Structure 1
């Protein structure tokens, strides 16, 4: 019988090789040939899954978003609403190996995005997905009676900017994870405050 190929698994293995290459050498050297060398695949096999450099970068960026989404979905949201929001933000901080690697890939995209339009498009995946989630969560809180300073879009932008900055500082060893989490909780409590009729449970 012919061997059954799990194409999703094969693609994930390839993206993992792309991540390793990005972490080690940055984005500038990403080519189909170098990805083939790092993965041990032929160039033709790489092209089957990721036919262009743009496709490679998009897949690497999309995988970062998937890792973030998986971590957010794993957060226990049964806590009071503001604590749940703080936990969701803290889940994105680079506090273990998986999210640390994802954050290094994200940082590589950010570093190149200012001067490379193609990379800026891929990095947009990383910004858009998290920003949309934060806006949705803050809109829900506003609907529950919480006061969201400046409105959901403005508060989402501020929280995301703080999260981005703290992520960089944690990666560089300037801020420890506990301090970063405390800063996020303080920001949440400053930007989102309960009104007397808010649903606190």
Structure 2
């Protein structure tokens, strides 16, 4: 009987090979030939799934987003108190373990690779900004956020903090360990939330 190939599984295999090549060789080393070799496929087999290099990169980055979204959706569905829930989500955006560190490094490499493709880059930035705004609006709805805050300004501040921390983790991983990251984010969130919220659930 002919061997049945799970095409989606194969596409994910190629995407993960792409991540590995980017991590080891940078975007300049992420050629179709190198990725095919890492995935254990011929060039023809790889091109069967992805006709162009850009098509492969887009799929690989969508898989990064899908992995993060899956973890975040589990947090959203949890019974955590509002403040703890938002903290947990923010700690999925900032890399604090080898898996999320690898994903973030690949993501930033792709962001810089597409920095001249303004339509692609703008969409990615806008999505993260909207996510930060949604978290603050959720805290406001739950009456956790200080009432006098300017949501738009706080969104900019939180976005800058989280994006900056993510970059610092990649560039200064020894200094920016998990404990420091948690403290910095919690310090900021304590300043914009109502006193006493943090002890809930302890």
TM-score of the superposed pair, with normalisation by structure 2: 0.80
Matching of residue 184 in structure 1 with residue 185 in structure 2: yes
Matching of residue 141 in structure 1 with residue 142 in structure 2: no
Q: 1:8-27 maps to which residues of 2 (within 5 A)? A: 8-27=8-27
Contiguous gaps of at least 5 residues in structure 1: none
Q: For each residue in 1:155-182, what CA deviation from the matched residue of structure 2 results, as whole angstroms up to 9, or x when unmatched?
A: 3332232122212222322211111111
Structure 1 residues 30 and 121, CA, compared in 2 at 3 Å: closer, same or farther? farther
Quick one: distance in 2 between partners of 1:70 and 1:121?
A: 25
Quick one: distance in 2 between partners of 1:92 and 1:58?
A: 19
Q: Which has more helix, going by share of residues?
A: 2
Q: For each residue in 1:88-108, what CA deviation from the matched residue of structure 2 results, as whole angstroms up to 9, or x when unmatched?
A: 101233222211210110221
Runs of 4 or more, structure 1, over 4 Å off, are 120-126
Look up the match of 1:167: 166
Matching of residue 39 in structure 1 with residue 22 in structure 2: no
Structure 1 residues 96 and 148, CA, compared in 2 at 3 Å: closer, same or farther? farther
More moved, 15-24 vs 26-35: 26-35
The answer to whether the Cα contact below 8 Å between 1:93 and 1:177 also exists between their aligned partners in 2 is no
The answer to whether the Cα contact below 8 Å between 1:95 and 1:177 also exists between their aligned partners in 2 is yes
Structure 1 residues 69 and 51, CA, compared in 2 at 3 Å: closer, same or farther? same
Look up the match of 2:128: 130
Deviation at 1:57, TM superposition (A): 1.7
Quick one: distance in 1 between partners of 2:18 and 2:68?
A: 18
Deviation at 1:140, TM superposition (A): 2.6
Deviation at 1:41, TM superposition (A): 0.9
Quick one: distance in 1 between partners of 2:148 and 2:61?
A: 30
The answer to whether the Cα contact below 8 Å between 2:82 and 2:142 also exists between their aligned partners in 1 is no
Quick one: distance in 2 between partners of 1:113 and 1:70?
A: 25
TM-score of the superposed pair, with normalisation by structure 1: 0.81
Q: Say what the alpha-carbon RMSD is for the aligned residues.
A: 2.6
More moved, 59-68 vs 7-16: 59-68
Q: For each residue in 1:80-135, what CA deviation from the matched residue of structure 2 results, as whole angstroms up to 9, or x when unmatched?
A: 21222112101233222211210110221244344x32xx6555565344333332
